[in-house]
Amino acid sequence: MEEKFVNIKTKDGLLDCFVVSPDEGGPFNAVIIYMDAPAIREELRDMARRLASTGYLVILPNLFYRVGKEGSYPFTFSKIREDKSHFHKMVKVMDDTTNELINDDSKYIIEYLDNSKKVKGSSYGIIGYCMSGQYIVTVAANYPDKICAAASFYGVKILTEAEDSPHLLAKHIKANLYLGFAQHDTWVDEERLKNINEHFKRSTKKFRMEVYQGTEHGFAFPNRHTYNKNAAEKHWSRINVLFEKSLKN
């Protein structure tokens, strides 16, 4: 694999990103991975590597670059279960990272991909985990001619009462949209799941939603205590099918 770290200049500073692609062949279709709230770590880079090994250029941006980088965030994820102050700090950083900010950052990420000789085509796939469920819906809606496939896993804040709730933009999405949820999730209750499914079925043309039975929030990450191997492998299968259909055809 070919790996590198790049800094993308935005109006708010330098957005640090991990980029990985196969070391032979190319150019490659590109995918953006939008991180979960625990932020950038080796676990996420390993997931980017796994996806890249199937023939994609994958970019993993640090969505918290405005407040820190890996190793210098305002919180330490490994301490959140023993020290609630770290959990509350993480939630605050997550809440401060708005849809508007990430939507704006995505413009610069897309421009980077558009100008990369390693990238094939001009439309991309996006994946979001946890807090980034809201972002991938927002980005897919605001860049409909650039995003052809979007997947979220146990995404939060996709449908809220806020004025900038992503679900309000659903009618603008042209991408194949996949939303996968955990069966047991304190962040997304059954009523919200029902409302999300009904709204996106009504508002988008290429939509699929799936609830992974017997799972909890975070099931796709090997280092999380909620990791579920069968569900995690199923999530990879869904990603592979979605991107094969959307990007490689």
Domains identified in the chain and CATH numbers: 2-246 (3.40.50.1820)
pLDDT value of residue 83: 82
| Separation between Cα atoms, residue 240 and residue 238, nearest integer Å | 5
Q: State yes or no: pLDDT of 248 exceeds 90.
A: no
Digit-coded pLDDT (tens) for 94-150: 999 999 999 999 999 999 999 999 999 889 999 999 999 999 999 999 999 999 999
Mean pLDDT of 212-230: 96
Percent of the chain with pLDDT over 70: 100
Q: How far apart are the C-alpha atoms of 133 and 34, rounded to whole Å?
A: 8
Q: What average pLDDT does this structure show over 40-48?
A: 97
Tell me the C-alpha distance between 133 and 20, whole Å.
Answer: 22
Is the bond preceding residue 27 a cis peptide, omega within 30 degrees? Answer: yes
Sheet with 176-184, edge to edge strand ranges: 2-10, 13-21, 56-61, 29-34, 124-129, 147-153, 176-184, 207-216
Can you tell me whether residue 29 is helix, strand or coil? strand
43 pLDDT exceeds 80?
Answer: yes
pLDDT at 77: 83
Averaged pLDDT score across all residues of the chain: 95
| 15 close to 62: Cβ distance less than 8 angstroms | yes
The set of residues, in sequence order, having a beta carbon less than 8 Å from that of 115 and lying 6+ positions away, is none
Instruction: Report pLDDT for 78.
Output: 80
Query: What per-residue confidence (pLDDT) applies to 249?
Result: 62
How many other β-carbons are positioned within 10 Å of the β-carbon of residue 5?
10
- Mean pLDDT for 206-210 is 97
Query: Residue 67's pLDDT band (boundaries 50, 70, 90)?
Result: very high
How many C-beta neighbours within 10 Å does residue 194 have?
Answer: 10
Give the per-residue pLDDT at 82. Answer: 82
Residue 131 confidence (pLDDT): 96
Helices (H) and strands (E) in the chain, counts: 6, 8
Q: In terms of Cα–Cα distance, which of 22, 43, 47, 42 is closest to 32?
A: 47
Closest CA to 64 of 36, 84, 44, 32: 36
pLDDT higher than 70, residue 176: yes
Cα–Cα distance measured from residue 144 to residue 170, given in angstroms and rounded to the nearest whole number = 11
For residue 243, which of 3, 31, 4, 7 has the smallest C-alpha distance?
31
Q: What is the pLDDT of residues 79-104, one digit of tens each?
A: 877 888 988 999 999 999 999 999 99
For residue 246, pLDDT beyond 90 = yes
For 95-175, strand residue ranges (E) read 124-129, 147-153
- Beta-bridge partners for 58: 20, 31
Residues in the chain: 249
Burial letters 43-62, b for 16+ CB under 10 A, else e? ebbebbbebbeebbbbbbbb
> Rg of the chain's alpha carbons, rounded to an integer?
17
pTM score, whole prediction: 0.96
